[in-house]
């Protein structure tokens, strides 16, 4: 089985967190990582654009999880190491790759405070996490772990995978069955 980074907090980027919000299942996260889920205020801000759309329920779900303390928010204060790293990342000073505010804030915060990055945007964050020796998980890892811990059934995970794809969430091109096989056999994504 793939080794799962166990260095809390698990700091979620927009794409990974939204995967569970869009299918109305943030409970999966809170069951697997009770008291260990964080996101940055930049990520929360990225999701607030939905507030003025017919999908406002996605943002409302996040606000409810924050209000009840299931998801904590962290911030980058101007002038701190985290903030300076964030500025470098959004300005392309890491391998000339410009990152979005949410990704950059999560990476910078975890690098300087510890934890594990939760992101589906592997092409943008994996190299940074590797260089900085930061743990990285994604939605497929979390669904697979939820199955192995019996938080959800394999059939339920397959249905969620399909629903997430229908909601245009970033997931690997293969099926959940293939993702689960790779997870159990510690094969590359």
CATH superfamily, with its number, for domain 10-139: 5'-nuclease (3.40.50.1010)
Domain boundaries of the chain, sorted by first residue: 10-139
The whole model's pTM is what? 0.94
pLDDT of 96 reads: 83
**Tens digit of each residue's pLDDT (9 = 90 or more) over 53-93:** 898 999 999 999 999 999 999 999 999 999 999 999 999 98
* C-beta separation of 171 from 163 below 8 A: no
Helices 154-166 and 139-148 meet at what angle, rounded to 10? 160
The span from the CA of 19 to the CA of 35, in Å, is 19
pLDDT of 44 reads: 96
The set of residues, in sequence order, having a beta carbon less than 8 Å from that of 14 and lying 6+ positions away, is 43, 46, 47, 100, 102, 103
């Amino acid at each position: 089985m793939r080794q799962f980074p166990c260095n809390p907090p698990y700091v979620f980027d927009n794409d990974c967190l939204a995967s569970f919000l869009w299918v109305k299942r943030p409970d999966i996260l809170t069951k697997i990582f009770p008291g260990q889920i964080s996101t940055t205020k930049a990520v929360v801000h990225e999701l607030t654009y939905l507030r003025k759309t017919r999908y406002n329920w996605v943002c409302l779900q996040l606000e409810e999880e924050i209000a009840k303390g299931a998801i904590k928010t962290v911030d980058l204060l101007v002038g701190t190491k985290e903030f300076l790293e964030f500025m470098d990342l959004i300005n392309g000073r890491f391998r000339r790759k410009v990152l979005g505010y949410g990704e950059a804030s999560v990476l910078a915060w975890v690098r300087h405070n510890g934890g594990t990055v939760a992101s589906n945007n592997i092409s943008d964050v994996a190299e940074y996490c590797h260089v900085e020796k930061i743990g990285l998980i994604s939605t497929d890892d979390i669904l697979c772990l939820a199955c192995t811990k019996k938080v959800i059934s394999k059939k339920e995970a397959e249905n969620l995978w399909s629903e997430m794809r229908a909601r245009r969430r970033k997931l690997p091109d293969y099926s959940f069955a293939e993702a689960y096989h790779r997870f159990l056999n510690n094969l590359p994504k």
